[in-house]
Structure formats: structure tokens, C-alpha cells
Structure 1
Amino acid sequence: MTNLKTTKSEQTRNRLLTAASRIFAEKGFQEATIAEICEQAKANIASVNYHFRDKETLYLESWRFAFNQELDLYPPDGGLMDDASAEQRLAGRIKSLVRRMGDENSYSFAIIHKEMAQPTRLLADILEKEINPQRLQMFALLKECLGQAASERQIQYCHASIMGQCFQLLRLKHMQGARPFRSHPSDLSDIKAFAEHVVQFSLAGIQAIRSQTLN
């Protein structure tokens, strides 16, 4: 009997997290309501109080839930072995990132995008804890690709360039969602092609910087 109750409780919690991550991604923290989340999750408000205490905690936990689901679906290493070249491993990491951002059922980056537009500062600590390890791994790969002579500034600039290209995908998705019937100047609907472009563009830029550093 206890196991059955635990299972039902976990199912309710997961439904709340799934609904919350979707609604927070669509509306942001301020405009999302507990009532709407409960309606989509087929749960009552008491279950939110039981599992999360308040809206702020639900916000944090729904982001973490979405983020971990996306990492499971699209491993950040791109599924490559450790003995692959630095360029191959960087390409795999970029493709994983683009696929996570491009997936219609991925919500963690959409929540971050909303957070940037309407800051709550609630996510600051959790983002540092969860995303910083991914950032440091990218920095290490960039240093390998750029060469040991690369400066910290060059590494940071390359990282910013890659992330800027990836976040353009989110911006376009937001534009298309806000105005679905208006034509847009860019079509990034082919996620695989866009990921390949970001990889090619980034590796070519890194190679150019490496050549300048060696000369």
C-alpha cells in the first residue's frame, strides 16, 4: 500500500513539474499561475503545497527537471568518446546544445530566455550550479582547439560567439511563436542543418584565431 501511494505521489509530482516547466517557458514566472499549472497537471493546489511549498520552489525545481530531462535526451558530450579529437568533441557539444534548444519539448532554455527578459533572480544560484560545469567543459575544449597560447579573453570571446549563434535559434522561435502568421527573415526550422552551420562557422573561426596566435 505504501509503495502504491509513493508511486502516485511521484506521478503527481512529475505531472506538476512537466506542466510547470511548459507554462513557465511559455509565460515566464510572473504571468504563470499555480491554478493553470494544476489544471494542466490534473492536480490540486494542495499537491503543490505538499511537494514544493510555494511557486518559487516549483519554478526552480521545474527548471531543474526540464534541464536534466534534456541532458538525458541530448547528452552534452554529443555521445562521443573521450579519445575523439578536441574539434570533434566541440562539434558534438555544439550539436547537442542546438538540438536541446531546437526541440519543441525542451523548456529549460526557454525559461532562461524569459528570465532574461523579466528577471526574477530566482534562478541565479541554480543556474550557476547546474550550467557552470557545462560552461567550464566548453572552455576546456575551446582551449584545446585554440592551442595553449590562447588567452582567456580569446576563449571567452569564442564561447560568447558560439552561444550567441545558439541563442539566435531561441530568439527566432520566440518571434515565430509571438507572430506565427508573419514571415520572418530567417528560417532555422532545419535544426540539423543549423547545427552543422554553427559547427562549421565556429571551427573555421577558431582555426583562424589559432593561426594568428601561432604566427
Structure 2
Amino acid sequence: MTDLKKKSERTRNRLLTAACRIFAEKGFQEATIAEICEQAQTNIASVNYHFRDKETLYLESWRFAFTHELTRHPPDGGVAGDAAPEQRLAGRIYSLIQRVADRDGYSFAIMHKEMARPTRLLADILEKEIDPQRRQLFGLLRECLGHAADDRHLQYCHDSIMGQCFQLLRLKQIQHVRPQPSPSADLSDIQAYADHVVQFSLAGIEAIRTHTHN
């Protein structure tokens, strides 16, 4: 790679990194290209060159954040593919919580802002990138619950797990506004929170499995 190409790639990555942070903090509507360029230490011409427009930068910054988070926290949580389904489910929960809690992770915060004020811009990319993760989680839940459980049980268990994980987004927002953590917004021990979510979820799944098999 030539020096010119290396410089161009560094500029592109700075833009994506800055865009992730600003879109996560402000959402698409409130974020400005000027602010992104200021943080990236570049100019609007660079945005036009690399992304053409704000909409494309929004899409690519989410993909950039999501890819980096999966690299840092693989979705299987480091659990072997031949492990018991409960262990594999625990690995996925740990990975998800680590990604949500990651101070350098922005994809979930961008999604949260998108749900609050939809642009519809992320719809296709979310379906393409998130749906495979969702299907794998549903498959694990099916293994853990047993085939006596119906689709409603699967959906409720999925929503319960995701709700506990996404609660961290609210806690991160509280901590951003109020740096001194309160007991209800303490992110100092993510491992303890993750252990609780895993234990609580597996116990609930076992209770449902027992009930549906009786």
C-alpha cells in the first residue's frame, strides 16, 4: 500500500471512529458533519470523498462499530461449539453484555437512538448483520427449552435476556450524566452483572422447561 493510500485509509478510519461516537451520543438528526470532521481532524471534502453523504457515513459507521465490537468480544463468548447448550447460551450472554458495556462500543447506542427517532436508514443493514446473531440465539434457546416449548416461550425468553442486557445502555447514559455511580447505576463490576444475568436466565429457562414438560 502506498503512503497516499495509507493516509487516505487513516483519514477514513478517523471519520468512522468520530462518527460512531457522535451518532451514538446525539443520533442521526442531531449529529453534524462539521462536528464529526472536527473530531476526526479532517474536512468535509474527506466525507464527500469517502462516503458521499451523511446517510452513507451513518450506515458505515454503524457497521464499523459493530465489526470492531464482534472482534473484541466474539459472539460465542469463547465457548466451544460442542459444549452443552446452557454453556453456549451463557457464552453468548457474556459476549453481548461485554459489547453493550464496552466504553469503546457504539453500535448498540446508535441502535437505541435509531429506535427512539427512526430514520429507516439502518433497517437493511440491521437485518443483514443482526438477524444471523438473533437466529443463533433462538436456536440455542430451543435447545435449552426443549421441543415442548412453543414459539411464544422462545420469544419471551429472548426478549427477557435482551432486556437485561440492554438495561446496561440506560445505566451507561445515567453514568455519563452523573459520573458518581449510584447503587442502581453501578457499572464497576460488569462481570458480576453478567454472572447475574446468566444465572437468572438459565434458572428461568429451566423453570419453563420443567413446566412445559409436565
* TM-score bucket of the superposed structures, by smaller chain: over 0.9
1:90 aligns with 2:89: yes
What is aligned with 1:162? 161
Change (3 A) 1:191 1:38: same
Is the Cα–Cα contact under 8 Å of residues 175 and 185 in structure 2 kept in the other structure?
A: no
Is the Cα–Cα contact under 8 Å of residues 73 and 95 in structure 2 kept in the other structure?
A: yes
Higher alpha-carbon deviation: 155-164 or 27-36: 27-36
| Gap regions ≥5 residues in structure 2 | none
What is aligned with 1:124? 123
What is aligned with 1:33? 32
Is the Cα–Cα contact under 8 Å of residues 174 and 185 in structure 2 kept in the other structure?
A: no
Within a 5 Å distance, the mapping from 1:199-210 to structure 2 comes to: 199-210=198-209
Is the Cα–Cα contact under 8 Å of residues 80 and 89 in structure 1 kept in the other structure?
A: yes
Which structure 1 residue ranges, 4+ long, deviate > 6 Å from structure 2?
A: none
Specify the code of the residue in structure 2 equivalent to 1:44: N
Is the Cα–Cα contact under 8 Å of residues 97 and 166 in structure 1 kept in the other structure?
A: yes
Determine the C-alpha separation between the residues in 2 that align with 1:28 and 1:164: 21
Determine the C-alpha separation between the residues in 2 that align with 1:212 and 1:38: 56
Q: Offset at 1:149?
A: 1.4
Determine the C-alpha separation between the residues in 2 that align with 1:106 and 1:144: 30
What is aligned with 1:46? 45
Give the secondary structure class of the aligned counterpart of 2:184. coil
Higher alpha-carbon deviation: 112-121 or 127-136: 112-121
Within a 5 Å distance, the mapping from 1:63-102 to structure 2 comes to: 63-102=62-101
Determine the C-alpha separation between the residues in 2 that align with 1:28 and 1:17: 15
What is the identity percentage for the equivalent residue pairs of Structure 1 and Structure 2? 73
Specify the code of the residue in structure 2 equivalent to 1:50: Y
Determine the C-alpha separation between the residues in 1 that align with 2:153 and 2:188: 31
TM-score when normalising by structure 2: 0.96
Specify the code of the residue in structure 1 equivalent to 2:207: A
What is aligned with 1:4? 3
Determine the C-alpha separation between the residues in 2 that align with 1:125 and 1:86: 30
Q: Offset at 1:185?
A: 3.2
Determine the C-alpha separation between the residues in 1 that align with 2:116 and 2:179: 20
Q: Offset at 1:186?
A: 4.0
Q: Offset at 1:4?
A: 1.7
Is the Cα–Cα contact under 8 Å of residues 176 and 184 in structure 1 kept in the other structure?
A: no
How many residue pairs get matched?
A: 214
Deviations 1:153-178 (A, max 9, x none): 10011000000000111011112223
Q: Offset at 1:67?
A: 0.2
Is the Cα–Cα contact under 8 Å of residues 85 and 144 in structure 2 kept in the other structure?
A: yes
TM-score when normalising by structure 1: 0.96
CA RMSD of aligned residues (A): 1.3
Change (3 A) 1:149 1:62: same
Q: Offset at 1:44?
A: 1.0
Higher alpha-carbon deviation: 31-40 or 155-164: 31-40
Determine the C-alpha separation between the residues in 2 that align with 1:72 and 1:115: 23
Deviations 1:29-64 (A, max 9, x none): 111111111111111110100110000100000000
Determine the C-alpha separation between the residues in 2 that align with 1:185 and 1:169: 11
Determine the C-alpha separation between the residues in 2 that align with 1:20 and 1:44: 13
